[in-house]
Structure 1
Amino acid sequence: MAENLFPNDLFSLPGFTRPAPHGGFPAHELFPDVAYEIVHDELILDGVARMNLATFCTTWIDDKARRLMAESIDKNIVDKDEYPQTAELEKRCVRMLADLWHAPDPASTLGTSTTGSSEAAILGGLAAKFRWRARGGTGMPNLVSGPVQVCWEKFARYFDVELRQIPLRGDRYTMHPDDLPEYCDDNTIAVVPTFGQTFTGLFEDVAAISAALDRLHAAGGPDIPIHVDAASGGFLGPFTAPDLVWDFRLPRVKSINTSGHKTGLAPLGVGWAIWREAADLPRELIFDVDYLGGNMPTFNLNFSRPGGQVITQYYNFIRLGRAGYARVQSATYFVARHFAKGLGAIGPFELIHAGEPERGIAAVTWRLTEGPDYNLYDLSDRLRARGWLIAAYPLPAGRQDETIMRAVFRHGFTLDMAELLLADIGRSLRHLSANPWRTPLTRAQAGGFTHDAAPEVP
C-alpha cells in the first residue's frame, strides 16, 4: 500500500516542516487549515485585549454584534448604490448623534462615519480651515488646544496649520480658559477642547472655554469657533453627566468628533464627525462620484471602507437606547470608582482622576508620591508579567517631569477583574519594595506616548 502522504494529523501536514514565511512573497501554497493554524498560533503571543487597560477601544462585543459583523464582511460602505440600506443606517446614526448632542435641527445636520475618531477629527479641522479661508483668512492658519491626541499634530503637519498647544502650568492638567487670549488671533481657525483627555481622562471645560471666546469677541477680538474632540467622552457625557454642557447647546461649537469603537461600544474601525448645521461643513469638502453605479457625495479621507462597524453601531443604538447606554456606562464608571478607592488604599499613590462621571471618562489616573525606590515604569513592567497592560508615561509640555499611570475601564471589565488587578498591583508593590531597582527611562518613555498604548518597556 502506498504511503499516506497526507495523514489526518494536522501538525504533520506539509507546511509545518519550516518556519512561516517572514520576508519575500511565498512561492508555494499551503493547505487552508495549515495556514490558519500558523497565523492563529502566532497571535497567541499577543496580549489579551480584555486585560489591556491602556487602550480606549472596545474589547468586548455581544454575539449578535459578531454575527452582524460576519454577515457584513463584504459590504463597502462607500458604495451606496449597491448597498443602499447600509447607507441608510449610516444616515440614521448621524441623525441620532445630532439629536444626542443637541444639534438645532438633527434632521438636516450633516455628518459622516469614518474609520475612527482621528479621521473624524481631521475632517473637523479641515472644515474649520475652509470656513476660515472663506471668511477671508490669509497667512498661516493656527489651531489652539491643550494637550491633544497625536491626530491633531498630524492634521497640523499634513495640512499646513500651526498647532498652538497651551502648556500645562501650576497644578493644571487641562487647557484653562484664561490662557486663550494669549494664543488666539485672527488666524485661529478653531479652539479644540478635549472632552476626555488622552493623558488624564479629564474633561476640558468646554462651556468655560466657549464663554472665554465670547468675551474675547465682545472685546473686539476674533470670532473663533470650537471643535470638540469627544473621541472618548461623546458617548459618556450624554448618559452619565447629562447636565454637563459641552456640545451643540453651545452655539460656538460647530463640530464634534467621536469614536464609535471606544465608548460607543462598536467594534474597531468606526468614528463619527458631526457638524452643528449644514452650513458649517463647507461644500468644497464634498466630492460627488458616479463610478460605482450612482451619484453619491463623499467627504472622507478614506474611500472604500467596511460597512459592518456602522451597521453594528446602529444595532447598539437601537438595542440600548438612552436608557441602556446610561445603564451600561454607569456600570463601567462604578467599576472605575471601585478600583480608584482600592488603589488609594494599597499604594503610595496620589489620584488625579478617580473615575467621576462629571470630571472625565471612566478611567483612573494616578502619580507616585515621594519615597519608593521604584517608579511607575517598574510597576507597569511587573503588571505586564501577569498580562495586565497599563500605560505609564510623562505628562505633556509644562509638566514633562511628572510621570503618571492610567487605567481605562471599558464595557466588559467587571468588578471581579478589578479586584484581581488590585491584588496583582499589591503583589507587584510588595515585590518592588523587597527588590528595589529602578528602570532607566528610555528616550521613547521620556518623550511621551501616542494614542492607546504605553511606551515600550525594555
Structure 2
Amino acid sequence: MALHRVATETTDDVFTAPLAERPLPKTRIPDGPTDPKVVYDLLRAELLLDGNSAQNLATFCTTYNGDEVKRLMADALDKNMVDKDEYPQTAEIERRCVRILADLWNAPGGPDTMGCSTTGSSEAAMLGGLALKWRWRKAREAAGRPAGTPNLVCGPVQVCWEKFARYFDVELRQIPLEPGATGIRPHQLAQYVDENTIGVVAILGVTFTCDYEPVAEIAGALDAIQADTGLDVPIHVDAASGGFVAPFVRPDLVWDFRLERVASINASGHKYGLAPLTCGWAVWRSADLLPEELIFHVDYLGGEMPTFALNFSRPGGEVIAQYFNLLRLGREGYRRVQQSCMDTAQYLAGRLRDMKVFELLYDGSSALPAVCYTLDGDPGYTLYDITEQLRTRGWQVPSYPLPAGRSSTVVQRVLIRHGISRDEISLLADDIEAVLSKLRAGGGRGGPQEPSFHH
C-alpha cells in the first residue's frame, strides 16, 4: 500500500518518480496509477529515439502541420466519422471535400459525383478496385458469360494493390518495366488485357521513381484495343501522390476525368494534400460507376446518406483538417506550395549532377517534387553505403531495386514535401558530398541492410 500511495503523489522531478526508477512496463499493466505529467514526460523522452520526421526523405506523408491543424485535430478527437447522424456537420464537411476534389479532377457529374473519405489512400484504392470487379462481374452476367477469374493490369504499383488482389481474389498482372522506362508503356497493354480484365491501374506518381505514367496515352491504347476486340476496359487512376500536385503545377496535363475511360481516382490527402496522417479519398466519375450493391445507407438528418468504406469507426479530424487546408490555401496557395517543392527538387537534382557520380532517372521537373537516381558506373561503393552513412547525420534516404524488368538497377529517392526547406536540402547535398569523399577515401562495398524504403 505504501508503494501505491507514493506512486500516486505528484513529484517535482519526473526522473525521481517511482515509474522512472525502473524500465517502463512492457508486458504487464502497472498495479496503480501514476501522475499523468510523469507518464507524459517519460513517454516523450522515449519517443525521442524515433527518427526526426523532417529528415525522413523516404516518406510521401505529411510531416509538417501548423498550429491551427493541431487545434482542429484536438477539437475533433471525439468525432467518429462513421456516425453521420450524431456528427452531421463533420459529414457535411466530408461531402464538401468530395465535391471540391471532383471539381479539381474535372468530374462531369458536378454535385452528384460519388466519393468518400477513407483511412488513407490504400483503402481508397481497394474501394476503386472493388467497384471495377463488381461492374465487370455484372457485365459478364448480363452477357450470359461465365465470370472466370478476374484480373487487374498494372505496372510498378504500391503494395496496396497486391493486397487488394490477394484479399479480393483478383489476378494481378504486373507489367515488367522496359529498359529506360519508369512505368507502363501503353503499347505493352495489348499483351495483358483480355475479357477477364476488370481494369487498368495507371499511376500518377510511381512509388519507385516518382514519375507519372502517361494516363492519356494508356487510355488511347485501350481505345485501340476496344476497336480491335470490343473489350471496353476502364481505368482507375492511383493518384495517391500526384492527385494533389498535377492539378496545381501542371493543369494542362490530361490524366483525370477529362478522359472518359477514367472511372475512378484515389488520392492521399495525407501526402501532397497536406492533411495529417490517415486521410484518403476515393472519387468516381459518376454515381452509376459505383455499384449499388457496395453502398450502405445510414440515417442522416431524417434521410439517408450513402456510405462505402472498408473501415467503420475512425476519427473525423483528418477530414476537417483537409477542408481547412483547401480553404486556407485555395488553388493559388497549393500551386505555390507544390511549385516551391518542385523547385527545391530541381535544385537537388542540379547538385547531384555536379557530383559527377550519379545518373538521374527523374529530376523533379515534370511529375512529383522528388528526385530518383542511380550510380553512374561502379565507383567502388554502393547506394546502400551512402544510405547507411547518411543515417549517421539523421537522414533517411532509401535505396532499393526497381521492380521486375529493371530489378538489377538499384536507385535512391528523395522526396520534397511541404516543410522541407531549400536550406535543409542544401545541407543534405553537403552531407552527400561529404559521404562520397569518405567512401572514396575508405572504399566500401555494401548491400541491402534493413529495408529503407517507405511507401
Task: Give TM class, smaller chain.
Answer: over 0.9
SS of equivalent to 1:209: helix
Shift of 1:294: 7.8
Which of these residues, 442, 450, 453, is aligned with residue 435 of structure 1? Answer: 442
Fraction of identical pairs, as percent: 56
2 CA distance for matches of 1:291 and 1:92?
15
Amino acid at match of 1:264: G
Q: TM-score, normalised by structure 1?
A: 0.94
**Residue 294 of structure 2 is aligned to residue 285 of structure 1:** yes
2 CA distance for matches of 1:24 and 1:383?
38
Which of these residues, 29, 36, 43, is aligned with residue 33 of structure 2? Answer: 29
For the 8 Å contact 2:58–2:453, the answer to whether it is kept is no
**Residue 149 of structure 2 is aligned to residue 145 of structure 1:** no
Which of these residues, 209, 214, 224, is aligned with residue 223 of structure 2? Answer: 214
Q: TM-score, normalised by structure 2?
A: 0.94
1 CA distance for matches of 2:453 and 2:88?
37
Deviates more, 1:230-239 or 1:13-22: 13-22
Shift of 1:369: 1.1
Which residue of structure 2 aligns with residue 308 of structure 1? 317
SS of equivalent to 1:439: coil
**Residue 346 of structure 2 is aligned to residue 337 of structure 1:** yes
Shift of 1:22: 1.2
Per-residue deviation, residues 27-65 of structure 1 (Å, max 9, x unmatched): 332221221122111100001111110000001121111
Which residue of structure 1 aligns with residue 144 of structure 2? none
Shift of 1:425: 0.5
SS of equivalent to 2:20: coil
Which residue of structure 2 aligns with residue 455 of structure 1? none
RMSD: 1.7
1 CA distance for matches of 2:54 and 2:453?
20
For structure 1, list consecutive stretches of 5 or more residues without a partner in the other structure: 453-458
Which residue of structure 1 aligns with residue 265 of structure 2? 256
Which residue of structure 2 aligns with residue 322 of structure 1? 331
Deviates more, 1:251-260 or 1:317-326: 317-326
Per-residue deviation, residues 425-450 of structure 1 (Å, max 9, x unmatched): 111111111111212335x75xxx76
1:110-189 alignment, distance < 5 Å: 110-136=114-140, 138-189=147-198
Per-residue deviation, residues 146-198 of structure 1 (Å, max 9, x unmatched): 00000000000000000000001222121110010100000000000100000
Which residue of structure 1 aligns with residue 93 of structure 2? 89
How many residues in Structure 1 have an aligned counterpart in Structure 2? 443
2 CA distance for matches of 1:61 and 1:291?
31
Which residue of structure 1 aligns with residue 421 of structure 2? 414
Shift of 1:347: 4.4
Which residue of structure 1 aligns with residue 109 of structure 2? 105
Which residue of structure 2 aligns with residue 372 of structure 1? 379
Which residue of structure 2 aligns with residue 54 of structure 1? 58
Deviates more, 1:142-151 or 1:326-335: 326-335
2 CA distance for matches of 1:97 and 1:165?
29
2 CA distance for matches of 1:214 and 1:438?
49
Counterparts in 2 of 1:412 and 1:441: CA distance versus 1, 3 Å: closer
For the 8 Å contact 2:15–2:21, the answer to whether it is kept is no
2 CA distance for matches of 1:136 and 1:106?
30
**Residue 412 of structure 2 is aligned to residue 405 of structure 1:** yes
1 CA distance for matches of 2:149 and 2:105?
32
For structure 2, list consecutive stretches of 5 or more residues without a partner in the other structure: 142-146
2 CA distance for matches of 1:19 and 1:158?
40
Which residue of structure 2 aligns with residue 69 of structure 1? 73
Counterparts in 2 of 1:423 and 1:450: CA distance versus 1, 3 Å: closer
For the 8 Å contact 2:84–2:300, the answer to whether it is kept is no
